[in-house]
Structure formats: structure tokens, C-alpha cells
Structure 1
Amino acid sequence: MLHRYLDSMSLVQEFGRPPLFFTITCNSNWPEIKEYLAPGEEVQNRPDLVVRVFKAKLSILHDRIMKDKIFGEVASMVHVVEF
């Protein structure tokens, strides 16, 4: 598969308007985060842990979309991570 890196306007011109748009946010109460906090430690003191867990979950979602095709065949995909 040939991967081409295009900006969002180029993607719309080539593939049309996206049929799906969704947002995923990080939840500081996820068990994967809570279990690695030291006693008395607060989530805001461990941005490294929060980012690592979020990245893992995002990678799983990406694989489900692209490899497992949970939404069908994918012509293009764009994701943006904001802090």
C-alpha cells in the first residue's frame, strides 16, 4: 500500500468529504493509569504515564480501524493529538 501524506484540504479534494469524524479524550480515571500511580501520587504529576496510556489506546483504535476494518474499507485517515 502506498502511503501519501497530504494536508486535509488535499484529502477532501481527492476523497471527498469525510463520512466519519470522532473525538477520543483521555480519562485520568482509566484503570491503566490509576494502577501505576504510587500511593498518594496524583495524575497531574505523571504526564509521562498519561501520555503513554493514551498513545497505547490510540494505537489500538488505529489498528481496529485500519487492520480490522471496523468501519469498512478506509480510503484515508487523519488524526491529530492536542495537549
Structure 2
Amino acid sequence: MHHCYLDSMMLVQEYGCPDLFFTITSYSNWHEIKECLAPGEEAQNRPDLVDRVLKAKLSILQDRIMMDKVFGEVSSLVHIVEF
């Protein structure tokens, strides 16, 4: 954990204080998850599927932020995934 703190401090020194902070949470009722479940199967029993869908949605969000510049010009982007 100490290492992450140092990395964060180095980012602030290099790029300045962050402008945005947001959280994305996986949702078991996303249609991309429900479409892939077998009859009677629940999302909680398929962490591999939930993870793949979340990663795909995170990738799309990052593309929107970085390429489409929905929040304007971006100098850096950091994300952390917690389980």
C-alpha cells in the first residue's frame, strides 16, 4: 500500500491535483451479463463473466474520456480495480 501512496504523490507532482474522481460498479442485471447466463444461473456464480463485462465497460469509458475528450483535454488517467 505504501508503494501506491508514493505513486499517487508522484502523479500529483507531475500533473497536479486531480480534477475528477468517479466510481463504476458492476451490476448483475446488465444485459451483457444476463445474456450469457445459463437458465437458472446467477451472476454471483460467474465472477469471470462479471469481470469481463466490467473490463469492457471500463475500456469504453476510458476511450470516451481519452479519445472523445468528453471532459476536455486529459493529461493523465489512472484507474484502480478492487474486488
TM-score by length of 1: 0.89
Deviation at 1:14, TM superposition (A): 1.5
In structure 1, the residue matched to 2:80 is 80
In structure 2, the residue matched to 1:11 is 11
* Structure 2 residues not aligned, in runs of 5+: 1-5
Question: How many residue pairs are counted as aligned between the two chains?
Answer: 78
TM-score by length of 2: 0.89
Greater RCO, 1 or 2 (C-alpha within 8 Å, sep 6+): 1
Deviation at 1:39, TM superposition (A): 0.4
Alignment of 1:3-82 (within 5 A): 7-82=7-82
State the percentage of identical aligned residues: 78
C-alpha distance in 1 between matches for 2:43 and 2:63: 27
C-alpha distance in 2 between matches for 1:36 and 1:69: 32
Deviation at 1:43, TM superposition (A): 0.9
C-alpha distance in 2 between matches for 1:47 and 1:67: 29
Structure 1 moving runs of 4+ over 4 Å:
none
In structure 2, the residue matched to 1:3 is none
Give the aligned CA root-mean-square deviation in angstroms: 1.2
* Structure 1 residues not aligned, in runs of 5+: 1-5
C-alpha distance in 2 between matches for 1:62 and 1:34: 24
